[in-house]
Structure 1
Amino acid sequence: MQLGTVKYTAEQLQNIFNTPAGGNGLISLAHQLIAAKLNVANGADATAVAASIAAADALIGGLVVPPVGGGNLAPKKTGALTTALANYNEGITGPGYCE
Protein backbone atom coordinates (compact mmCIF):
# COMPACT_ATOMS: atom_id res chain seq x y z
CA MET A 1 0.00 0.00 0.00
CA GLN A 2 1.18 3.50 -0.74
CA LEU A 3 0.94 6.37 1.76
CA GLY A 4 1.92 9.63 0.17
CA THR A 5 4.55 8.66 -2.38
CA VAL A 6 6.08 5.84 -0.31
CA LYS A 7 5.12 2.18 -0.70
CA TYR A 8 4.89 -0.03 2.40
CA THR A 9 4.75 -3.77 2.88
CA ALA A 10 1.99 -5.42 4.91
CA GLU A 11 4.47 -5.94 7.76
CA GLN A 12 5.46 -2.27 7.74
CA LEU A 13 1.80 -1.21 7.76
CA GLN A 14 1.16 -3.44 10.77
CA ASN A 15 4.15 -1.91 12.53
CA ILE A 16 2.76 1.57 11.83
CA PHE A 17 -0.63 0.51 13.28
CA ASN A 18 1.14 -0.79 16.39
CA THR A 19 2.99 2.49 16.94
CA PRO A 20 1.27 4.96 19.29
CA ALA A 21 0.95 8.43 17.77
CA GLY A 22 2.65 10.06 20.75
CA GLY A 23 2.00 13.58 19.48
CA ASN A 24 3.10 12.85 15.91
CA GLY A 25 0.26 13.86 13.59
CA LEU A 26 1.82 11.85 10.76
CA ILE A 27 1.28 8.60 12.66
CA SER A 28 -2.32 9.48 13.56
CA LEU A 29 -3.05 10.41 9.97
CA ALA A 30 -1.40 7.23 8.69
CA HIS A 31 -3.52 5.08 11.04
CA GLN A 32 -6.73 6.54 9.63
CA LEU A 33 -5.48 6.63 6.02
CA ILE A 34 -4.51 2.95 6.11
CA ALA A 35 -7.92 2.02 7.53
CA ALA A 36 -9.76 4.12 4.94
CA LYS A 37 -7.79 2.61 2.06
CA LEU A 38 -8.46 -0.90 3.38
CA ASN A 39 -12.18 -0.13 3.71
CA VAL A 40 -12.30 1.09 0.11
CA ALA A 41 -10.28 -1.92 -1.08
CA ASN A 42 -12.85 -4.15 0.64
CA GLY A 43 -15.67 -2.56 -1.35
CA ALA A 44 -16.83 0.39 0.76
CA ASP A 45 -18.13 3.32 -1.27
CA ALA A 46 -15.31 5.86 -1.51
CA THR A 47 -17.44 8.80 -2.65
CA ALA A 48 -17.44 10.55 0.74
CA VAL A 49 -13.75 9.98 1.43
CA ALA A 50 -11.93 10.15 -1.91
CA ALA A 51 -10.98 13.82 -1.55
CA SER A 52 -9.72 13.27 2.01
CA ILE A 53 -7.63 10.29 0.93
CA ALA A 54 -6.09 12.32 -1.88
CA ALA A 55 -5.43 15.27 0.45
CA ALA A 56 -3.85 12.99 3.08
CA ASP A 57 -1.58 11.40 0.49
CA ALA A 58 -0.58 14.86 -0.76
CA LEU A 59 0.17 16.09 2.77
CA ILE A 60 2.25 13.01 3.58
CA GLY A 61 4.18 13.25 0.32
CA GLY A 62 7.59 11.62 0.68
CA LEU A 63 7.60 11.47 4.49
CA VAL A 64 8.27 7.97 5.81
CA VAL A 65 5.93 7.07 8.66
CA PRO A 66 7.49 5.87 11.95
CA PRO A 67 8.61 3.32 12.94
CA VAL A 68 9.62 2.63 9.32
CA GLY A 69 11.11 6.12 9.03
CA GLY A 70 11.41 9.31 11.01
CA GLY A 71 8.69 11.48 9.46
CA ASN A 72 6.79 13.93 11.61
CA LEU A 73 3.89 16.33 11.15
CA ALA A 74 2.31 18.57 13.77
CA PRO A 75 -1.12 17.32 14.89
CA LYS A 76 -2.64 20.74 14.15
CA LYS A 77 -1.54 20.30 10.52
CA THR A 78 -3.13 16.83 10.21
CA GLY A 79 -6.08 17.15 12.59
CA ALA A 80 -8.84 17.98 10.11
CA LEU A 81 -7.87 15.20 7.70
CA THR A 82 -7.39 12.69 10.52
CA THR A 83 -10.88 13.52 11.79
CA ALA A 84 -12.43 13.30 8.31
CA LEU A 85 -10.88 9.88 7.73
CA ALA A 86 -11.80 8.68 11.24
CA ASN A 87 -15.42 9.75 10.65
CA TYR A 88 -15.46 7.69 7.47
CA ASN A 89 -13.81 4.68 9.14
CA GLU A 90 -16.26 4.85 12.05
CA GLY A 91 -19.31 5.15 9.80
CA ILE A 92 -20.20 8.71 10.73
CA THR A 93 -19.80 9.73 7.08
CA GLY A 94 -19.92 7.63 3.96
CA PRO A 95 -21.64 4.27 3.64
CA GLY A 96 -22.03 3.73 7.39
CA TYR A 97 -20.67 1.20 9.84
CA CYS A 98 -20.87 -2.53 9.10
CA GLU A 99 -21.10 -4.99 11.97
Structure 2
Amino acid sequence: MKQQGFSLIELMVAVAIVGILVVIAVPSYQDHVRSANRAAAQADLMALAAAMEQHKSVNYSYAGAAEGGGDTGTLLYLRDIHRLRKMLPIKCTT
Protein backbone atom coordinates (compact mmCIF):
# COMPACT_ATOMS: atom_id res chain seq x y z
CA MET A 1 0.00 0.00 0.00
CA LYS A 2 1.24 3.50 -0.90
CA GLN A 3 1.75 6.05 1.89
CA GLN A 4 0.02 9.41 1.39
CA GLY A 5 0.69 12.63 3.32
CA PHE A 6 3.28 13.42 5.97
CA SER A 7 4.06 11.68 9.22
CA LEU A 8 3.76 13.50 12.52
CA ILE A 9 7.54 13.53 12.93
CA GLU A 10 8.02 15.21 9.54
CA LEU A 11 5.47 17.89 10.40
CA MET A 12 7.08 18.52 13.79
CA VAL A 13 10.51 18.90 12.19
CA ALA A 14 9.08 21.39 9.69
CA VAL A 15 7.41 23.38 12.51
CA ALA A 16 10.65 23.41 14.50
CA ILE A 17 12.60 24.74 11.52
CA VAL A 18 10.02 27.48 10.92
CA GLY A 19 10.12 28.37 14.63
CA ILE A 20 13.89 28.72 14.58
CA LEU A 21 13.71 30.96 11.50
CA VAL A 22 11.08 33.15 13.14
CA VAL A 23 13.15 33.51 16.32
CA ILE A 24 16.09 34.70 14.22
CA ALA A 25 14.17 36.89 11.74
CA VAL A 26 11.76 38.84 13.97
CA PRO A 27 14.35 40.78 16.05
CA SER A 28 16.26 41.66 12.90
CA TYR A 29 13.07 42.92 11.27
CA GLN A 30 12.15 44.96 14.35
CA ASP A 31 15.60 46.59 14.38
CA HIS A 32 15.24 47.47 10.71
CA VAL A 33 11.79 49.02 11.26
CA ARG A 34 13.06 50.95 14.29
CA SER A 35 16.00 52.42 12.37
CA ALA A 36 13.77 53.36 9.44
CA ASN A 37 11.31 55.09 11.78
CA ARG A 38 14.14 56.88 13.55
CA ALA A 39 15.42 58.20 10.20
CA ALA A 40 11.93 59.42 9.31
CA ALA A 41 11.61 61.15 12.70
CA GLN A 42 14.97 62.85 12.27
CA ALA A 43 13.98 64.06 8.80
CA ASP A 44 10.71 65.45 10.18
CA LEU A 45 12.53 67.25 12.99
CA MET A 46 15.07 68.69 10.56
CA ALA A 47 12.24 69.98 8.37
CA LEU A 48 10.64 71.59 11.42
CA ALA A 49 13.96 73.17 12.41
CA ALA A 50 14.46 74.54 8.89
CA ALA A 51 10.96 76.02 8.86
CA MET A 52 11.53 77.65 12.25
CA GLU A 53 14.84 79.12 11.09
CA GLN A 54 13.14 80.44 7.95
CA HIS A 55 10.52 82.12 10.13
CA LYS A 56 13.25 83.64 12.29
CA SER A 57 15.16 84.95 9.27
CA VAL A 58 12.05 86.74 8.01
CA ASN A 59 10.70 88.01 11.35
CA TYR A 60 13.96 88.25 13.37
CA SER A 61 12.28 86.26 16.15
CA TYR A 62 10.84 82.87 16.89
CA ALA A 63 7.83 84.55 18.52
CA GLY A 64 4.65 83.65 16.69
CA ALA A 65 6.30 80.91 14.65
CA ALA A 66 3.85 78.31 15.92
CA GLU A 67 0.82 80.52 15.28
CA GLY A 68 -0.74 80.04 11.88
CA GLY A 69 1.33 76.92 11.47
CA GLY A 70 1.08 76.39 7.73
CA ASP A 71 4.68 77.00 6.69
CA THR A 72 6.45 76.45 10.01
CA GLY A 73 5.95 72.72 10.19
CA THR A 74 3.81 73.02 13.33
CA LEU A 75 0.96 71.05 11.83
CA LEU A 76 3.37 68.30 10.89
CA TYR A 77 4.67 68.31 14.44
CA LEU A 78 1.24 68.14 16.04
CA ARG A 79 0.09 65.40 13.69
CA ASP A 80 3.16 63.24 14.20
CA ILE A 81 4.03 63.88 17.86
CA HIS A 82 2.62 60.54 18.96
CA ARG A 83 4.56 58.69 16.25
CA LEU A 84 7.75 60.55 17.14
CA ARG A 85 7.40 59.67 20.82
CA LYS A 86 7.34 55.98 19.93
CA MET A 87 10.44 56.22 17.73
CA LEU A 88 12.76 58.32 19.84
CA PRO A 89 14.54 56.70 22.79
CA ILE A 90 14.04 59.79 25.00
CA LYS A 91 10.99 60.69 27.04
CA CYS A 92 9.05 63.72 25.76
CA THR A 93 6.98 65.75 28.19
CA THR A 94 4.36 68.16 26.97
**When you count strand as a share of all residues, which structure comes out higher?**
1
TM bracket, shorter-chain basis: 0.3 to 0.5
Q: Bigger relative contact order, structure 1 or 2, given CA contacts below 8 A and separation 6+? A: 1
Give TM-score scaled by structure 1 length. 0.33
**When you count helix as a share of all residues, which structure comes out higher?**
2
- Give the number of the structure whose alpha-carbon radius of gyration is greater: 2
